[in-house]
Amino acid sequence: MVLPTVALVGRPNVGKSTLFNRIAEERISIVEDTPGVTRDRIYTHAEWLGKQFNLIDTGGITLEEHDLNQEIRSQAEIAIEEADVIVLVVDARVGVTAADEVVAQILFSAHKPIVVAVNKADNLEQRQDIYEFYALGLGDPYPVSGVHGTGMGDLLDQVIQSFPRETLIAEDDSLKFSFIGRPNVGKSSLVNAILGEQRVIVSNQEGTTRDSIDTKFIDQDDGQVYTMIDTAGIRKRGKVYENTEKYSVMRALKAVDRCDVVVLVLDGAQGLREQDKRVAGYAHEAGRGVIIAVNKWDAVEYKDHKTMQEFTDYLRQELQYLSYAPIIFVSALKKQRLRQIVELVRAINENQNRRIQSALLNEMLLKATAIAPAPTVKHKRLRVYYVTQVAVQPPTFVVFVNDPEIFHFSYERFLTNQLREMFDFTGTPIRLIARQRK
């Protein structure tokens, strides 16, 4: 299911991040006990009245040394291109500014629904004094307070009413996998190399591919139908001061939602960057199977027999939360080890859908508790009674205990590792849910 995308746009200091946190209900970052889960607070899943959507905060505009209007213009253009609904955030205390008018002029010509959120309307007088914002020409302004949460219901009601109507997409039995990563790491080149023909545009210029492109093919060995999703980079329009590279996350969101397995593509010559970690973190949180493909390995200079292992150790250290993801070193240009991608996609999809009988799970639990008895937390002994699988994609298990509050993350990690040792869950995250036995 492809979720609609809502982008928050506005000049600095209007409270976009506060609204972002309020709408997201603080469900923003990945909760992990290991280092390396580094993600900007720029995107998240959100929900209102049963409607789920992706929420984007287009923050990061700076006033120093650059032309403010150009910065705001680039932000608004990114939002226009990527979002299904745009929320223009303005400041009730300041009123309409020239910067607000710049954004409004850009958004006015967009064929996208726009909702005006008049933030910082913290008291009744400010909530009533919003009529000047009609001058922006973008419809009814909605007074809200990101700090206190007032007015959020009316705003979100209008946002979800503005979602595009869902179109019926014919279901198919193809196994879908997407290539995600920073611009210019070779995603399109990998698609072409796997297909053996030019099916999508390939260029060394960043951001050549503007939209996600689906390409189907049939594997001659097993007869499986695959759909490859090549995610787009971000096109730079003119002189853009904002680092638009981080907005490739917007398209990665939609691609991850649509696929079964994610192939995170890294540039072997450039190494790992913060943007790679952010995109990888979203795939992990979404519960998709993950493959880490280090592309352009042929371009790495001064390689020896230790280089590949050293790079693997480096990635394991930096991406500890993806310890389950296989790492492969490929070259789209030289067509090296490309077959491994398809083989791993098939194997990981099987692991994503693997179901384990409860009898085997509880046999594993007995062995695990014999190796490491449940700990005592806050002077109370954790008792683990039973475990059963409740879902796939990703494999999800409910662990029945005497008190979920003392089910410490370290013991959860231990049980997860025991599951991986006994059963093949290579390439897929595992989720454990602690429930109190009734």
**For position 411, which CATH number holds?**
3.30.300.20
Residue 384's domain comprises 358-436
**Which backbone phi and psi does 325 adopt, to 5 degrees?**
-85, 125
192 is in an annotated binding site: no
* Dist. CA 234–CA 250, nearest whole Å: 9
207 is in an annotated binding site: no
**Which backbone phi and psi does 94 adopt, to 5 degrees?**
-90, -35
Q: Which residues of 325-350 are buried (b: 16+ CB within 10 A; e: fewer)?
A: bbbbbbbbeeebebeebbebbbbbbe
Percent of the chain with pLDDT over 70: 80
> Residue 129's Cα: distance from chain center in Å?
38
Residue 49 lies in a domain: yes
Q: Any alpha helices (H) in 32-173, and if so which ranges?
A: 68-82, 98-108, 124-128, 152-161
61 is in an annotated binding site: yes
Instruction: Give the number of other CB atoms < 10 A from CB of residue 128.
Output: 10
**Tally of domains in the chain:** 3
3-state secondary structure (DSSP) of residue 394: coil
* Residue 158 banded pLDDT, cuts 50, 70, 90: very high
303 is in an annotated binding site: no
233 is in an annotated binding site: yes
Overall average pLDDT of the 336-351 stretch:
93
Instruction: Name the token pair of 386.
Output: 């039973």
Overall average pLDDT of the 31-59 stretch:
63
11 is in an annotated binding site: yes
Q: Are strands 85-91 and 5-9 parallel, antiparallel or unpaired?
A: parallel
Confidence check: pLDDT of 276 > 60: yes
Q: Any alpha helices (H) in 39-186, and if so which ranges?
A: 68-82, 98-108, 124-128, 152-161
Could you read off the pLDDT of 219-242 as tens digits, one per residue?
877 778 888 887 754 343 443 334
184 is in an annotated binding site: yes
380 is in an annotated binding site: no
160 is in an annotated binding site: no
Residue 196 lies in a domain: yes
122 is in an annotated binding site: yes
* Residue 64 banded pLDDT, cuts 50, 70, 90: very low
Instruction: Name the token pair of 410.
Output: 């370290």
pLDDT number for residue 32: 38
The CATH number covering residue 28 comes to 3.40.50.300
pLDDT number for residue 378: 77
Same domain, 192 and 223: yes
Residue 167 lies in a domain: no
Could you read off the pLDDT of 15-29 as tens digits, one per residue?
888 888 888 875 443
Residue 403 lies in a domain: yes
Same domain, 120 and 242: no
pTM: 0.69
246 is in an annotated binding site: no
Residue 339 lies in a domain: yes
* Residue showing tokens 């003392």: 406
pLDDT number for residue 59: 58
* Residue 319 banded pLDDT, cuts 50, 70, 90: very high
13 is in an annotated binding site: yes
Sign of CA dihedral 270, 274, 278, 280: positive
> Residue 297's Cα: distance from chain center in Å?
26
50 is in an annotated binding site: no
135 is in an annotated binding site: no
Q: Which of 161, 193, 225 is the last residue of a domain?
A: 161
Instruction: Name the token pair of 134.
Output: 């009609």
The separation between the first and the last C-alpha atoms of the chain, rounded to the nearest angstrom, is 35
60 is in an annotated binding site: yes
17 is in an annotated binding site: yes
230 is in an annotated binding site: yes
Sign of CA dihedral 77, 82, 86, 88: negative
Residue 244 lies in a domain: yes
In DSSP terms, which residues pair with 5 in a beta bridge?
A: 54
417 is in an annotated binding site: no
In DSSP terms, which residues pair with 388 in a beta bridge?
A: 398
298 is in an annotated binding site: yes
137 is in an annotated binding site: no
